Amino acid sequence: MSTLSTGFVDGRLYRTCMFVYQLLVIEACLVVALLPTALSVVLLEPDPRNALLFAVAVIPAGPALVAGLYAVRRMEQSPVRDFVRGYRLSWLDVVKLWAPAAVVISVLSADWLVIVALVALWLVNVLVITARFSFRVRDTARLSAYYLGAQWRCTLNLILLGAGFVFLVTLTSDWVAVFLLSPVLCLLARITRPLVADVERRFV
């Protein structure tokens, strides 16, 4: 390999290209995994009577997001393999918490915004912890609630990330949310590093 080629492979440009490539591949995996949810949500009318149907429709999103978070944390040469592995390892654990939380959010979303926001933040912690660790479901639930306060800086950053994401989608289109998931998950992985490090230090 020439000096020029070696410099390219070892250089910043190559790392940037690989990073973008991996994000695009993970994004494609997310789009495929979320397609049933996206189609179901589009077909359902925004009616309170359809709240439970919305909850059922978004259940596949939980394992997909965990798999995406698992893949963006690893960022290795085979993002598809990492995505599939993350999905296989975590789908059952996350569904056990994601499904009831989705029901609560769907049923209460119209009138109980504060409770919905807290449940959503707790659910993000569930995704973060499940993507990295294999605890019992009840332990994951407790840790996710505990770290809302114990890692309040992470929680504040999550609120800012969520607010920015919602603002961007409001200005553009709901489909933008789907096609920006891998960068958002990458930011989420960075934001929650202190949380993950504390869990690993204290409970692993």
For 89-132, what is each residue's pLDDT tens digit? Answer: 999 999 999 999 988 888 876 677 888 889 999 999 999 999 99
The pTM (predicted TM-score) of the whole model is 0.88
**3 in a structural domain:** no
What sections of the chain are H helices per DSSP? 3-10, 12-43, 51-57, 61-74, 79-108, 113-132, 137-150, 152-171, 174-179, 181-191, 193-203
Contact yes or no for 73/128 (Cβ under 8 A):
no
For 33-86, what is each residue's pLDDT tens digit? Answer: 998 888 887 787 777 777 788 888 899 999 999 999 999 998 877 899 999 999
Written as one letter, the residue type at 26 is I
Total structural domains in the chain?
1
Pick from 26, 32, 79, 37: which is nearest to 62 by CA? 37
**83 in a structural domain:** yes
**4 in a structural domain:** no
**87 in a structural domain:** yes
Contact yes or no for 199/143 (Cβ under 8 A):
yes
Q: Which domain holds residue 140?
A: 10-203
**5 in a structural domain:** no
